[in-house]
Amino acid sequence: MKHITIKDVAKKLNCSVSTISRAFNDKYDIRKETREHILATAKEMGYSPNPIAKSLLKQCSNQIGVVIPEFINAFFPEVIIGIQEVLIKKGYQVLIMQSNESHITELENVKTLENNMVDGMIISLSLGTKNVDYYKYLISRGFPLVLFNRVSNELETSKVLFDDYKWAFFATEHLIYQGYVKIVHFSGPSGLVISQNRKNGFLDALRKHKIPFDESSIIETGFMISDGEREMEKLINENNLPEAILAVNDPTAIGAMKTLKKHGYKVPYDVALVGFTETKLAELIDPPLTSVAQPTHEIGKTAARLLLEQIESNGIFVPQTVILNGRLNIRESSMKLK
Amino acid sequence: MKHITIKDVAKKLNCSVSTISRAFNDKYDIRKETREHILATAKEMGYSPNPIAKSLLKQCSNQIGVVIPEFINAFFPEVIIGIQEVLIKKGYQVLIMQSNESHITELENVKTLENNMVDGMIISLSLGTKNVDYYKYLISRGFPLVLFNRVSNELETSKVLFDDYKWAFFATEHLIYQGYVKIVHFSGPSGLVISQNRKNGFLDALRKHKIPFDESSIIETGFMISDGEREMEKLINENNLPEAILAVNDPTAIGAMKTLKKHGYKVPYDVALVGFTETKLAELIDPPLTSVAQPTHEIGKTAARLLLEQIESNGIFVPQTVILNGRLNIRESSMKLK
DNA sequence: TTGTACGCGTTATCAC
DNA sequence: GTGATAACGCGTACAA
């Protein structure tokens, strides 16, 4: 399992390593025939320059690291497709690591990537991440970093965001316009900015339309189907069904729907549902789920572009925050049907 | 953006780099106090040994590369969770790359990972991969390699498989036992072993039960929802509806279901459906989809274990093929209801 | 046009 | 117990 190195090629061709190097880098003067001969022999021998050594020398790697919390839900994979689309064209390789919603794993991933000398990172913070000191440190050293979706207000770096407040507001208004009054929000983990924004959008919509609410109108939950199931189960047991629910994302909405169905309740007749961060599931389930669609692909592409700008800027760089637009796809689950 | 190196620490502490190295590697004689002092200062300075340099020297990296064709469908992400579970415990980092079903991207990914000196790779071949010469080359050099799901019979390396033939056979028998006779198979791309195995399972079940079939019983399609939609649309236009369809995977089954619904047909009354490689979707859609469930998590864990065995074997290693078991989850979409 | 020699950050081997 | 140095594979300034 020995790597073929530049030396092997040099030895075989009876020339110096620098000549080989020059042939590959095509920058300095070198006789055309020599070059072609070298390239041919090298190819035949299965040689290609070792990027590890190159990274060590150049202190950069043409690699970009991506760290995401999970990829069970379709959101992150779709963002990554967008990221890759932009970066691969520019000659970068994309290394993906997942933190599994753990702060510790996330930090290890970041350090691994840093040690691999990636030229920059695109990150979405894990649920467990409260402490962002290491990111502050990276930013202070000028390390190119772009955050998306799960960001921290403490970090001054480029960000790609979705206007969670606005779309939660619209989604809630949609329920209000349908005539629902007793509306509950399944909110995400309170530590996350996206959860807070969606919650505030929800509350402000209620306020605007003078819909009464109290602390029981907000039920904090997670991001998974099981979280929606659990909370719905509780509501059913307490015999305290709302008329409508705005869920923090599709999986929790779907969990709620499953549980409602299991107990014989009909969506939207007994309880109307709206999801968020639409996935393919939304239009496939029965009834089809009203949901806020995020431009996942575009989020990825934008994040990649912001990162490239920073990498190419050589230090004189002002972080930008890009807020992307979405849409509310209205389907049967939230309609007022009798 | 300058990395703090061992030299910086040595300079600060007025000692040699070897002493610092020793303090970190804790292998050679070194005074306890010296060691602790060094470690403390290093931490304070934010120094940690550069794994790139270490990789260059040791010719290995404690990193494992994973290359998958896509992660839009939930199958691959779930496998990766299993892979990580095993490898992280053993101190390996997992680098994930996706080929986007392209042979060229896949090959680039593999070479990138190889150049990063990963200690081994776990790969599922892309749709586009017909030529496996590079893998043959890697294997011939003793590079640790494990394939799963999308494998090639030409490659002599460890593999983790699912008994596609058997479960396609069972799934088809299930349809036959329900009383369906005119059964069609939406098969996967014919270049893939899994497609062939599922197709053969399907055909042999028909043969066993003396169900007539001809070339129109097999319709070659892709792996995406859109593929199922397209083929179903054709069947409807040709006014040539089968009684039941065994789809090569859930997305194609779901695509077929969508199209049937759109045209006002009822599943399973007009056409019964069975999927394969069950995803969460299966039980969420309406009607719930009968599907063959694969042990995704276990596939990942097994692949990781086989890879570790090979890495730790130091060359004297016989490739193993592990075939994992699944189950047929019978739901409404395939029942004979009147 | 080509070769020599150094440095990137480590660790291992040898002296001391 | 500690320091000097070669080596890993490469790119490049400088010498030839």
B32 CB-contact burial (10 Å; exposed 0-12 / middle 13-18 / buried 19+): exposed
Between A56, A97, A285, which is nearest B52 by CB? A56
Scanning B222-281 for CB atoms below 8 A from A yields 225, 254, 258, 280-281
Nearest-CA residue of chain B relative to A112? B93
- What is the full DSSP assignment across A225-238? HHHHHHHHHHHHHT
CATH architecture of B6-49: Orthogonal Bundle (1.10)
Dihedral over Cα of A199, A202, A206, A207: its sign: positive
User: To the nearest whole angstrom, how far is the Cα of B206 from the nearest Cα of chain A?
Assistant: 31
Q: Do B55 and A52 touch (CB under 8 A)?
A: yes
How far apart are alpha carbons A108 and A43 in whole angstroms? 37
Q: Do A281 and B281 touch (CB under 8 A)?
A: yes
Two tokens, residue A272: 């109307």
Q: B173: Cβ–Cβ under 8 A, 6 or more apart, which residues?
A: B205, B208, B209
Two tokens, residue B42: 């290093």
Q: Which residues of A touch B112 (CB under 8 A)?
A: 51, 63, 93
In angstroms, the Cα distances linking A17 to A6, A46, A283 are 6, 16, 60
Give pLDDT, residue B38: 86
Nearest CA to A93 among A117, A71, A124?
A: A117
Nearest CA to A202 among A142, A299, A276?
A: A276
Q: Give the 3-state secondary structure of residue A255.
A: helix
Give pLDDT, residue A148: 97
Give pLDDT, residue A278: 86
Share the mean pLDDT of chain B: 90
CB-CB contact of B193 with B152 (8 Å): yes
Q: Which pLDDT tens digit goes with each residue over A25-60?
A: 876 667 788 888 888 888 888 788 888 888 888 888
Cis peptide bond N-terminal to B268, omega within 30: yes
Q: Which nucleotide is nearest to B29 (CA to C1')?
A: D1
pLDDT at residue B2 greater than cutoff 80: no
Give pLDDT, residue A28: 60
The one-character DSSP state at A285 is B
Q: Do B284 and A281 touch (CB under 8 A)?
A: yes
Q: Which pLDDT tens digit goes with each residue over B247-263?
A: 999 999 999 999 999 99
Find which of B54, B67, B71 to mutate to test the A interface (most A CBs within 10 Å of its CB).
Answer: B71
Domains A6-49 and A61-162+295-325 in one fold: no
| Cβ within 7 Å of nucleic strand C, residues | A 14-19, 22, 28-31, 34, 53, 56-57, 59; B 2-3, 5-7, 17-18, 20-21, 24-25, 27-28, 47-50, 53-54, 56-58
Q: Give the 3-state secondary structure of residue B93.
A: strand
Q: Which residues of A touch B281 (CB under 8 A)?
A: 280-281, 284
Q: What is the pLDDT along chain A (338 residues), one digit of tens a residue?
A: 467 888 888 888 888 888 888 888 876 667 788 888 888 888 888 788 888 888 888 888 888 999 999 887 889 999 999 998 899 888 888 888 889 889 999 998 998 888 888 899 999 999 888 899 999 989 988 889 999 999 998 999 999 999 999 999 999 999 999 999 999 999 999 888 899 999 999 999 999 999 999 999 999 999 889 999 999 999 999 999 999 999 999 999 999 999 999 999 999 999 999 999 988 788 888 889 999 999 999 999 999 999 999 998 866 789 999 999 999 999 999 998 76
Q: Percent helix, strand, coil in chain B (nearest 5)?
A: 45, 15, 35
Among A69-78, A307-316, B282-291, B320-329, the range of highest mean pLDDT: B320-329
Scanning B86-105 for CB atoms below 8 A from A yields 88, 93-98, 100, 105
pLDDT at residue B94 greater than cutoff 80: yes
Number of cross-chain residue pairs from A and B with Cβ atoms under 8 Å apart: 103
Nearest CA to A304 among A86, A136, A40?
A: A86
Find the mean pLDDT for residues B154-176: 96
Candidate CATH numbers 3.40.50.300, 3.40.50.2300, 3.40.50.1110, 3.20.20.70; the one for domain A164-294+328-334: 3.40.50.2300
Share the mean pLDDT of chain A: 90
Nucleic strand D under 7 Å from the C-beta of A53: yes
Q: Do B71 and A77 touch (CB under 8 A)?
A: yes
CB-CB contact of B68 with A65 (8 Å): no
Expressed in angstroms, the distance from the first to the final Cα of chain A is 71
CB-CB contact of B310 with B144 (8 Å): yes
Q: Which residues of B touch A281 (CB under 8 A)?
A: 280-281, 284
Task: Please tell me the CATH code under which domain B61-162+295-325 is placed.
Answer: 3.40.50.2300
Q: Which nucleotide is nearest to A58 (CA to C1')?
A: C8
Q: Hey, where are the domains in chain B?
A: 6-49, 61-162+295-325, 164-294+328-334
Give pLDDT, residue B338: 62
Query: How sure is the predictor about B321, in pLDDT bands with cuts at 50, 70 and 90?
Result: very high
CA–C1' gap, B11 and D13, in angstroms: 27
Strand C nucleotides within a 7 Å radius of protein CB atoms: 1-5, 7-13
Q: Which pLDDT tens digit goes with each residue over B22-36?
A: 888 876 677 888 888
Give pLDDT, residue B269: 95
pLDDT at residue B66 greater than cutoff 70: yes
Q: Do B254 and A284 touch (CB under 8 A)?
A: yes
Nearest CA to B85 among B311, B319, B327, B302?
A: B302
Q: Which residues of A touch B94 (CB under 8 A)?
A: 97
How far apart are alpha carbons A77 and B98 in whole angstroms? 10
Nucleic strand D under 7 Å from the C-beta of B34: yes
Give pLDDT, residue B13: 87
Dihedral over Cα of A116, A121, A123, A125: its sign: positive
Give pLDDT, residue A315: 67
